[in-house]
Structure formats: structure tokens, C-alpha cells
Amino acid sequence: MDNINVNGKIMNSKKPLLPVKSDFVFKRIFGDQRNVDVLADFLKSVLDIPDEEYESITVIDPHIKMESKNDKYGILDVKVHTKSKQVIHIEIQLKVFPEMKARTIFGQSKLITEQMSSGDNYSMIKRIVTIVITDEVFIHGSDRYHHQFRQRTTDGIEFTNLIETNTLELPKLPPDTDKSDLWYWMKFIKSDDEEALDMLAQKSPQMMKAVGVLKELSADEQERMLYEAREMARMDSEALMGRARNEERIGFARKLLLRNRPIDEIIEDTGLTREEIESL
């Protein structure tokens, strides 16, 4: 049976839960100033910054960002300022793409340069902390689901803590808890099972609130329509990118064929199948 919430929106409690790992849903939960206590609890589980930084957290830039004027998909991320104006930037990606590390560095550079204006002193630059959550393996050669990257020498001497990158990889989350708060938040992001989420809700008041917000979003027909439109735009964008990358590989393969390179080497260099190369 449909219900109507306090805002007059139609809600259907029988609908399946929306996936938290969708950037749309993630931002609705963690990027809402009304849920700043949920956001702070999550950040505390990931980062090692002093607790007083969370005494004043401000969510900024709450809108979809388009990377170009022709972009119909855009980026949904969460960006916040802490008490001392440190910038924490959270991005969730279902797919890992080859340029992802470079784009992360580029994004951090923009977050630094946008702080500066003519005549500013470099000491005014505030720390940038990035959290990248992926639904595919991102960091190879390690089974850990959380990595922290900073500028240090090989023997651990830190050059600066001005930029920090944290990666959270959902596929690496172990099935059994490691007793860390981060494990429970990762499980919340990864799970779409209502019974499992109800069990997680008993972990803390913040987790209970997060599960409650998810259920409310999932029962709201307008929110579901926005989520589905977002997913369609994402799939269209990925299809276009996939076609563009394939065309690049085909063009590269043609050049290698003209140079009489062996087909086995072309397969290795381009990732195309033998049939695709032979058809060229």
C-alpha cells in the first residue's frame, strides 16, 4: 500500500531498496547537511584527522557537475569543509577506468588552485583529503580494502600532508567483520539486503539513521524516478565511452597491421580478439 510522507510525496514501502553504491543514493545520504552526523561517523572510520575537525562540517557544492557542455551524465560527489576548512572530497565509482588515478590527481590540483587568488600566500592552502570508493578492484597487489596514500619517502619520511588519497574497494571487503567501524560502513554501502541492513542498524545511532534515510528514499516514488533517470544516463555515458575506446583500439590495430606486426602481438597490445583483428 502507498503511503504519503510529511512532504506529501507518495511512498511505496514494498519497493526494493535503492543501492547505496549508486552515486545518486550515496550523495542523498552522505551529502545532505541534515545527515551531517552520519557523514561525520563515516569519515571518522576512514580518516585519522583529529575529532575536533568534525565539530563543524559543512557540505558544499551539492549539485551535479558536468565535465563539458555536452555531458548529460555529470559527476555526483560529496565535498565538505571541516572546522579548520580542510577539504574532504568523496567520490564513488562503479567502474574503474584507466585514467582514474590521473583524474584523481587532477581533481585534487583543482581543489588547491581554486583556494588561491592573486597575492595569496601559499600558507593559506588548506589540506585536501580525497576518498575514492570503487565497486571494482582499483589497487592491485594488495588484499586490503582501505589504502591511504600520502607523499612520503620510501623509509617513511613525510614531505607534506597537504594532499591525501584514501581508496575504499568494495570487492575486497571480507565477508566477516574485522570489528572496525569502517567494515560496517563499507558493508552498508555494499549491501542491498534489507535484513542485513536492519542488523547493521543496531550498530550505532548514526548507522540506524543512515538505514532509515535509505528506506525513506527507496519508498519515495519521485526519488526512484530520479535514480532511474540517473542510471540510464550513466549507462548511456558508459556505452559512448566504450565505443570511443574500441574505435581507438581498432585504429591502433590498423596501424600495427600496416607495420606487419604479428597478430598475437596486436592482440596483446590492443585487447582486441583475433576475430576482430582478422576482420580488419
Query: 3-state class of 166 per DSSP?
Result: strand
Residue 81 CA to residue 102 CA, distance in Å, equals 23
Same domain, 56 and 82: yes
Q: What is the dihedral of CA 191, 196, 201, 206, to 10 degrees?
A: -10
Residue 142 CA to residue 148 CA, distance in Å, equals 12
Residue 126 belongs to a domain: yes
With beta carbons less than 8 A apart as the criterion, state whether 278 and 248 touch: no
User: For residue 274, what pLDDT is reported?
Assistant: 82
Count Cα atoms within 13 angstroms, Cβ side, for 31: 22
Same domain, 205 and 263: no
With beta carbons less than 8 A apart as the criterion, state whether 99 and 58 touch: no
pLDDT along the chain (280 residues), means of 10: 48 76 94 95 96 93 49 68 95 89 93 80 91 96 96 91 96 96 97 93 96 95 91 74 73 81 79 79
Same domain, 133 and 190: yes
Residue 10 belongs to a domain: no
Residue 230 belongs to a domain: no
Same domain, 25 and 128: yes
* pTM: predicted TM-score of the whole model, two decimal places: 0.79
Residue 160 CA to residue 164 CA, distance in Å, equals 9
User: For residue 177, what pLDDT is reported?
Assistant: 95
With beta carbons less than 8 A apart as the criterion, state whether 215 and 17 touch: yes
- Structural domain total, the chain: 2
Residue 229 belongs to a domain: no
- Residue where a domain terminates, one of 195, 219, 243: 219
Same domain, 116 and 170: yes
User: For residue 267, what pLDDT is reported?
Assistant: 80
Q: How far is CA 149 from the centre of its chain?
A: 16
Residue 18 CA to residue 223 CA, distance in Å, equals 10
Cell readout for 19 is: 543501492
Same domain, 210 and 181: yes
Same domain, 107 and 210: yes
- Residue where a domain terminates, one of 219, 248, 264: 219
Residue 47 belongs to a domain: yes
* Radius of gyration (C-alpha) of the chain in whole angstroms: 22
Residue 89 belongs to a domain: yes
User: For residue 279, what pLDDT is reported?
Assistant: 81
Q: How far is CA 10 from the centre of its chain?
A: 29
Residue 211 CA to residue 206 CA, distance in Å, equals 9
Same domain, 58 and 169: yes
Q: How far is CA 62 from the centre of its chain?
A: 15
Same domain, 77 and 141: yes
Residue 257 CA to residue 32 CA, distance in Å, equals 54
Same domain, 200 and 258: no
With beta carbons less than 8 A apart as the criterion, state whether 89 and 128 touch: yes
Same domain, 202 and 264: no
Q: 254 is in which domain, residue-wise?
A: 235-279
Same domain, 194 and 244: no
Strand order in the sheet with 58-60: 58-60, 78-81, 87-93, 128-134, 158-169, 146-152
